[in-house]
Amino acid sequence: MAKLSNDSIIGRLNTRFEGRFDQIEASYGLLTIETGKEDILDVLEFLKTDGELQFGYLTDITAVHYPDLAKEFAVVYHLHSLVNNVRIRIKVFLDGAYPAIPTATVLWNGANWMERETYDFFGIQFIGHPDLRRILNVDDMEAFPMRKEYPLEDPNRMDKKDYFFGR
Nearest residue to 17 (alpha-carbon basis) of 45, 55, 52: 45
* Distance in Å, CB of 70 to another protein, minimum: 18
Applying CB under 8 A, does 51 fall inside the site for another protein? no
Choose which of 14, 23, 49, 137 interacts with another protein (CB under 8 A): 137
Mutual angle of helices 6-17 and 40-49, in 10-degree steps: 120
- In a 13 Å sphere around the CA of 88, the CA atoms on its Cβ side amount to 28
Stretch that binds another protein, among 9-17, 33-41, 93-101, 150-158 (CB under 8 A): 150-158
Q: Which residues contact 27 (CB under 8 A, 6 or more apart)?
A: none
Choose which of 2, 27, 97, 165 interacts with another protein (CB under 8 A): 27
Q: Which of residues 13 and 104 has its CB atom nearest to another protein in the complex?
A: 104
Stretch that binds another protein, among 6-14, 15-23, 57-65, 93-101 (CB under 8 A): 57-65
State phi, psi for 101 to the nearest 5 degrees. Answer: -155, 150
